[in-house]
């Protein structure tokens, strides 16, 4: 279950979303579709009132009796017809997505399914604000939806369930619109305090969608779980295995696939699939790998001038530091026993070592591994791809330790500090 803090943050009207809506009203017609009241009964705005940035202070000064996006409407809204046009635009200009959909089955099914979507006005407004104020997020949403839809076709998901696939993918990041946009900027170094606002966004999206008339329960649950991972390393509830719903597994894989695909780093994507088999649904990854034809990928050594020695040495030092910390922690009674607060850490670090082995490298002999690949550009490119993916995985583990910090309160002060620093170290 979500923590009390998470639920409070998720259900509060976000000033960041209110600002985005009201600023959008400076450029297009945004009007109140019903009277807007404060929770104490004070009428703030009448039905039909125009909303723009002048109303920002009024709408954030009070707790509202109903969510703002349920009492507003916009012209030029992103409705089903507009979504179909947006998908067509992507497919027209991006051969990779066009080929992905063609390999999955009937490429016309996406347009047909989209045109027949029943979108609640809340969803239309959210998508409209996203397109207007968060264009990169909107692009990610659309492309993730195409990936999820293609994968669902190959999985032979029932025709009647395909709208739920689209809706889950289209809405999976609605909760991020409550987050301070500065936190989401690529150049911003997220602090531990800020990270909890990022981690609550699946709960925010779920609470927004779960009671909307006609919105599929499977889709709202997928929004809640799209950052869960099958090994229990995800959030917000650290679910494992069968606890993660099938549609959530699909959206999770589509989400991370689009993020890497955006950079056209196909070798990195292949490595992501290879070393994250325990975290994502293996059947879904196999389908995506086939749809993207990663099995025929020729290694790319475009980053040939980068010397991986420092990063490889860091990974070796990290595993050695963990060995020493593990020896100390193992002295605690049943430290690595199932159910112990520390069990996840023993499990994750064992996985890191195992993943290095699965990638075809020896974690106990990094020097000879480097010597082996130095004369082979293709192996060197693969090593760099592995290190790129490992950097992301280690940072993700640091975030998990941070999320679980209340469970680790009994540890000696600073016991994990050195490990955390190494997990988050940026080595070039």
347 and 212 in one domain?
no
- The dihedral over CA atoms of 73, 214, 209, 134, expressed in degrees to the nearest 10, equals -50
263 and 122 in one domain?
yes
Question: What are the C-alpha distances in Å from 373 to residues 296, 312, 355, 383, 427?
Answer: 21, 12, 18, 8, 20
CB atoms within 10 A of CB 154: 17
317 and 270 in one domain?
no
User: Which uninterrupted H or E stretch holds 116?
Assistant: none
- State the CATH number of the domain containing residue 117: 1.10.3210.10
pLDDT at 304: 54
User: What sign has the CA pseudo-torsion 205, 206, 211, 217?
Assistant: positive
Burial class (CB in 10 A: 0-12, 13-18, 19+), 356: buried
In a domain, 189, yes or no: yes
In a domain, 256, yes or no: yes
List the beta strands (DSSP E) in 46-94.
Answer: 72-74
What's the mean pLDDT when you consider all of the chain?
88
What average pLDDT score do residues 309-317 get? 84
Please identify, among 268, 296, 324, the residue that sits at the C-terminal boundary of a domain: 296
Confidence band for 3, pLDDT divided at 50, 70 and 90: low
Please identify, among 261, 296, 331, the residue that sits at the C-terminal boundary of a domain: 296
Q: What one-character DSSP code corresponds to residue 36?
A: E
- Identify the three-state secondary structure at position 16: helix
Please count the structural domains in the chain: 3
- Give per-residue burial for 122-144: e unless 16+ CB within 10 Å, then b: bbbbbbbbbbbbbeebbbbbbbb
DSSP string computed for 309-352: HHHHHHHHHHHHHHHHHHHHHTTSTTTTSTT-TTHHHHHHHHHH
DSSP string computed for 378-417: HHHHHHHHHHHHHHHHHHHHHHHHHHTGGGGTTSPTTTTH
At 381-396, the pLDDT tens digits run: 778 888 888 888 899 9
What average pLDDT score do residues 177-203 get? 86
248 and 205 in one domain?
yes
For residue 134, give both structure tokens.
């968060």
In a domain, 302, yes or no: no
In a domain, 304, yes or no: no
Cα–Cα distance for residue pair 78/127, rounded to 1 Å? 6
Please identify, among 265, 296, 327, the residue that sits at the C-terminal boundary of a domain: 296
- Residues 6 or more apart whose CB falls under 8 angstroms from that of 208 comprise 67, 69, 122, 126, 174, 175
Inter-axis angle of helices 309-329 and 366-374, to 10 degrees? 160
268 and 173 in one domain?
yes
275 and 158 in one domain?
yes
328 and 263 in one domain?
no
In a domain, 126, yes or no: yes
Inter-axis angle of helices 246-261 and 162-171, to 10 degrees? 50
Q: What one-character DSSP code corresponds to residue 66?
A: S
Question: What are the C-alpha distances in Å from 24 to residues 8, 20, 28, 403?
Answer: 26, 6, 6, 35
142 and 63 in one domain?
no
222 and 181 in one domain?
yes
In a domain, 111, yes or no: yes
Range of the domain at 12: 4-74
Cα–Cα distance for residue pair 39/264, rounded to 1 Å? 48
Residue pair 147/96 in contact by the 8 Å Cβ criterion: no
Confidence band for 12, pLDDT divided at 50, 70 and 90: low
58 and 93 in one domain?
no
Confidence band for 334, pLDDT divided at 50, 70 and 90: confident
Question: What are the C-alpha distances in Å from 130 to residues 150, 170, 224?
Answer: 23, 11, 19
188 and 142 in one domain?
yes
Confidence band for 8, pLDDT divided at 50, 70 and 90: very low
In a domain, 143, yes or no: yes
Q: Is the pLDDT of residue 115 over 60?
A: yes
331 and 278 in one domain?
no
In a domain, 301, yes or no: no
pLDDT at 341: 82
What average pLDDT score do residues 102-128 get? 92
């Amino acid at each position: 279950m979500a923590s009390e803090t998470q639920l409070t943050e998720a259900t509060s009207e976000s000033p960041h979303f209110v600002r985005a809506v009201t600023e959008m009203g400076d450029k297009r017609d945004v009007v109140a579709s019903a009277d807007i009241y404060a929770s104490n009964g004070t009428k703030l705005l009448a039905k039909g009132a125009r909303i723009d940035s002048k109303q920002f202070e009024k709408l954030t000064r009070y707790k509202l009796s109903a969510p703002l996006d349920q009492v507003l409407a916009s012209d030029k809204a992103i409705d089903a017809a507009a979504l179909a046009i947006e998908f067509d635009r992507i497919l027209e200009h991006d051969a990779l997505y066009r080929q992905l959909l063609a390999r999955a089955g009937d490429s016309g099914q996406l347009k047909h399914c989209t045109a027949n979507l029943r979108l609640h006005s809340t969803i239309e407004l959210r998508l409209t604000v996203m397109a207007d104020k968060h264009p990169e997020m909107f692009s990610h949403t659309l492309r993730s939806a195409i990936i999820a839809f293609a994968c669902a076709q190959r999985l032979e998901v029932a025709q009647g369930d395909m709208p739920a696939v689209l809706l889950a993918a289209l809405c999976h990041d609605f909760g991020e619109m409550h987050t301070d946009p500065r936190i989401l900027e690529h150049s911003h170094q997220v602090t531990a305090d800020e990270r909890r606002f990022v981690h609550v966004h699946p709960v925010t999206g779920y609470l927004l969608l779960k009671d909307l008339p006609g919105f599929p329960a499977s889709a709202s649950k997928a929004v809640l779980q799209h950052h869960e991972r099958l090994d229990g390393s995800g959030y917000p509830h650290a679910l494992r295995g069968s606890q993660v719903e099938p549609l959530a597994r699909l959206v999770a894989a589509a989400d991370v696939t689009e993020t890497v695909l955006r950079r056209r780093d196909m070798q990195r994507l292949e490595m992501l699939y290879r070393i994250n088999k325990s975290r994502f649904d293996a059947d879904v990854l196999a389908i995506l790998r086939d749809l993207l034809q990663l099995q025929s990928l020729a290694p790319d050594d475009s980053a040939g001038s980068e010397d991986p020695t420092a990063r490889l040495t860091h990974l070796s030092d990290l595993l050695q530091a963990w060995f020493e910390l593990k020896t100390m922690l193992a002295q605690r009674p049943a430290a690595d026993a199932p159910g112990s607060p520390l069990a996840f850490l023993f499990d994750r670090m064992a996985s890191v070592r195992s993943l290095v082995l699965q990638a075809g490298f020896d974690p106990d002999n990094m020097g000879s591994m480097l010597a082996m690949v130095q004369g082979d550009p293709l192996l060197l490119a693969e090593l760099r791809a592995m290190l790129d993916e490992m950097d992301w995985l280690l940072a993700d583990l640091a975030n998990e330790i941070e999320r679980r910090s209340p469970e680790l309160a009994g540890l000696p002060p600073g016991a994990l500090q050195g490990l955390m620093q190494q997990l988050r170290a940026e080595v070039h």
